A and B are shown apart, each in its own frame.
Chain A
């Protein structure tokens, strides 16, 4: 059974009046530079995302003081080794005939409700999508702020209905070497695998993205489903997921297999634990141009208040 306690920063449902929400939405649109486009859409929905699902900003995760990264940078500066090792390559190579629809997702392992399901049916089953503005911190010491559209991972967990033995969630990217150049090389151990502890997967911040800026998520960002765990380094955010498997043992995540000394299972953003080759104390802000902008990296990427409790008693230096 999964109990959900309200956090002190959460607003009760009743506090969200239509009018105040409307104002927030206008603010948000202005912030992200889509103000004009926003006028075209009435009511509570912004844009269509994957499969035509309407999305709206979840008022618990507004941009606030964050400077949202422009859309073109989020979608042109990508680490997606399936489509090339350079940042500019995924945008080109992921849009050369590789198809992210139709897309079937498998839910398997220690669950009462295993299934193979079309991605749009899955989104309908979890109740549609919403928008959240999250910080994104790469292990390479750069960061963005991304307005993701999608649904909480906890909803998928609830749908799968894990058995008591299920302790971890293992997520796997597609494997399609015929259409995907990177998977014909041995740069990584394909297919890409990531994992979370079940309590991490059930945390309210853990999110499955299906869109960015209200648009369906582009192939190079991990269409049609990608994991977003904003308190962890970006490589935990496994892209283009085909399988969610509930396991009793801790999954072996790809980067941990590749270089165990450099990448752990947890990969929590932590400015006090350096990567063996570089410091993690600061980060370059994507889109800041030539102004030498480096900002301090925050513990758990600024989500310490929300997630620190997950790791009480855990040695974060050892469990990097």
Chain B
């Protein structure tokens, strides 16, 4: 999805810095302050991982009947939701450049992206433990259900290890950007994987990935209807303070 607007900024922190300097009053609104907060972001990312403790402490028999399956599905579910959420950050900023909360959201883009990988990796570990290890993976890898999940995880892994500043520098801005566009393929595979996990079409896939698709679509439309010519792509700033 080539887009010169997003090409200007590949790291979240400079995004916030740039726009803060150009627009809006100097005092942050309450929403922006909440969204900017690192503590809020970390809490929001960790809580879904702790959620399974609730039904287990409460001895919910529907969960205790097959707790491994519950954890497996929950971790995959959280990974899908966070992946869809993080892919709304850039469109929100592009569509509402004066909305400072949307700008602040982009400070956490890398953090949320890496968290997606962590949940997906835990989901995979749960699969290995519970479904029969690498032997099972090897025998089932030909099935689109298993293949889509495995490839999506591979993409997330590649993006995660190249998310450190040193990797950006080593790859160069252009190559780094092309590589990280794989996230859209990863999201498509994750959505397919989630659909294929159910016997009937799971409506939740629509509300997980639907809003993100709408925003991404609007972002593309905005780019084409914009009257002023797009500025030339800029090299991402590296070595910026970590968000």
Contact = CB atoms under 8 A, between A and B. Distances in A.
Interface stretch (B57-65, B99-107, B113-121, B164-172): B57-65
Contact of B65 (A77, A85, A255): A77
B200 A187 contact: yes
A284 B68 CA distance: 9
Given A187-B200, A278-B143, A88 B62 contact: yes
B66 interface: yes
Contacts of A85: 198, 200, 202
Contacts of A91: 62
Contacts of A140: 199
State which size class the interface on A falls in.
20 to 34
Contact of A289 (B62, B67, B145, B198): B67
A277 B143 contact: yes
Interface in A272-320: 274, 276-279, 282, 284, 286-287, 289-290, 292, 294
Contacts of B43: none
Contact of A73 (B64, B68, B132, B202): B64
Interface in A27-59: none
Interface in A53-109: 72-73, 75-77, 81, 85, 87-88, 91
Given A73-B61, A91-B62, A282-B132, A290 B67 contact: yes
A188 interface: yes
A73 B65 contact: yes
A257 interface: no
Interface string B183-224: 000000000000010111010000000000000000000000
A124 interface: no
A77 B130 contact: no
B4 to A, nearest CB: 41
Contacts of A279: 136, 139-140
A278 B62 contact: no
A72 B132 CA distance: 27
B69 interface: yes
B198 A76 contact: no
Given A85-B200, A187-B200, A282-B132, A142 B61 contact: no
Given A85-B202, A277-B196, A292-B130, A72 B61 contact: yes
A174 B139 CA distance: 40
A16 interface: no
A258 interface: yes
Interface string A177-195: 0000000000110000000
A289 B64 contact: yes
A87 B65 contact: yes
The CB with the most chain A CB atoms within 10 A, among B66, B68, B198, is that of B66
Nearest to A85: B200
B76 to A, nearest CB: 14
Contacts of B67: 289-290
A259 B199 CA distance: 9
The CB with the most chain A CB atoms within 10 A, among B62, B63, B146, B196, is that of B62
A179 B17 CA distance: 56
A278 to B, nearest CB: 7
Interface in A143-164: none
A88 B132 contact: no
25 contacts: A72-B61, A73-B61, A73-B65, A76-B61, A76-B65, A77-B61, A81-B200, A85-B200, A87-B65, A88-B60, A88-B62, A140-B199, A187-B200, A188-B200, A258-B200, A259-B199, A276-B143, A277-B145, A277-B146, A278-B143, A278-B145, A282-B132, A287-B65, A289-B64, A290-B68
